[in-house]
Amino acid sequence: MAVLVRISSICNRGFSPLLFRSASLIRPLVAHKKDQDHSYLLAAKVYTTPAHYDGSVSKAASLHWTGERLVSVILLSMGPIAYFYPGGVMDYSLAAALTLHGHWGLGQVVTDYVHGDTKVKLAKAGLFILSTVTFAGLCYFNYHDVGICKAVAVLWSK
């Protein structure tokens, strides 16, 4: 059984590496496999990179990821709460959470599938406009009509 020690785990304990601060490290991984009567040596290369290049960038990405998960969990809990306690506060909270969740989700689609500086800037501007119009539309619907909670209840009752 092969044991692999990550350099980043050592770095986090107060030791700072002298070499390979920004370069990827290639470490061999060898494992034994027994097939009936024969024993094999399987070899593979494992690419490890330092866990962090710049503390502020990785911290911001980590906080963004945590925020996305938090909004997802909040949306899951808002469903039953909206069913049992419909009202203006819940309608506007749903409008904000749904818009933010959709904005972050479509932002990942833009990041994954849109390439080129100009296209990325146009796509992000379009996404910002779409999210703004979505939030404004949901707020308009909440203010001038029955609201999100009662609209879903009416749809389910028919």
Which residues define the annotated binding site for heme b? Answer: 101
Q: Is 130 helix (H, G, I), strand (E, B) or coil?
A: helix
Known binding-site residue numbers: 101, 113
Q: Where are the alpha helices (DSSP H) in the chain?
A: 7-11, 55-84, 88-113, 117-144, 148-157
CB 148 within 8 A of CB 79: no
Taking CA atoms, 121 is separated from 99, 100, 117, 132, in Å, by: 20, 19, 6, 16
Residue ranges for the binding site for a ubiquinone?
113
